[in-house]
Every structure is written in structure tokens, then in C-alpha cells.
Amino acid sequence: MNLPFLGHRHKKNGDAGVPSDPESVAALLSECELLRAQATQEGVRLDDTPASLEALDQLVPRWRDDAETLPWLGNDAGLYLGTVVVRTVPGAAWRIRPDGEPVIRLASGREVEVTGAGQDWAASGAPELSQLYAEIAEA
């Protein structure tokens, strides 16, 4: 499995070393270490709830001044949004596309590309993560 946001991995036995069962994939994608560290530094606790997305939306975006951090933080923001959706929206689950892109598949069959949304949020603050969550949860 190719997950571009993880960087290049050596394949072992046809596998990139990434677990294939849904719970392990969800655990891996929920790590979001950079975002969690940034939030903790600002006094925000990320507890995988919609309320924590609202708290992230209120952060002063100091990361926008760091061109090296911005794409990684944006990727983490998208993965965190996806994590909250998977943990709180019935029937939502991670799916890894053949190109390695992680997306959220809703019970309706609709797929949501959360990493792109996270990149947009990190770069401009819009759309807000909490608003995206509300739209996804309603679908």
C-alpha cells in the first residue's frame, strides 16, 4: 500500500509495512503528531470530538509563517478531521485509494478527500474544520 504522506517505504512481501485491517489503519491515520503537538503547545486538547475541531479553528495560525511545516500540518489537519468523522459518524470508515490517498467513505458510499481540505484550512483557515465536519456528518 502506498501512502504518499508517509514518505517512501521499502516493501516487504508486497506490503509497504502498513497494516491492512480497518482498525489498525484508523489508528495509524489518527496519529497526526505535528498537529497534536501544535495544539498541545497552544493549550488545546485533541480528544477526537467535533468540539476539538472547533477549538482548532480558533487557534492563531502561527504555522503559516513556516513554509516547511505548513504542508505537513495541513495533512495532519485533514487526517484529524477524518479521524473525528470515523469515530463519530455512523458508517464512516477510512479507505485507501489505489494511488495511496486516504479518504473517508460514508455509509452512503460518498467519499470525502480530507487531506486536501486540511491543506486548505492550514493555508487559509477556510473552510473551517468544524464546518466541514458538520457538512460531512449531515450527508
pLDDT per residue over 18-59, tens digit each?
Answer: 567 888 999 999 999 999 999 999 999 999 999 999 999 999
CA distances from 11 to 1, 14, 29, 51 (A): 9, 6, 19, 38
Sheet holding 93-96, edge to edge: 93-96, 102-105, 111-112
Confidence grade of residue 11 (pLDDT, cut at 50, 70, 90): very low
The 10s digit of each residue's pLDDT in 80-137 is 999 999 999 999 999 999 999 999 999 999 999 999 999 999 999 999 999 999 999 9
Instruction: Give the sign of the dihedral formed by CA 57, CA 59, CA 60, CA 66.
Output: negative
Q: Is the pLDDT of residue 13 over 50?
A: no
Grid coordinates belonging to 80: 484529524
Whether residue 25 contacts residue 19, with contact meaning beta carbons closer than 8 Å, is answered with yes
Whether residue 1 contacts residue 20, with contact meaning beta carbons closer than 8 Å, is answered with yes
- Max CA separation in the chain (angstroms): 45
Burial class from Cβ neighbours inside 10 Å (0-12, 13-18, 19+) for residue 91 reads exposed
| pLDDT computed for residue 22 by the predictor | 85
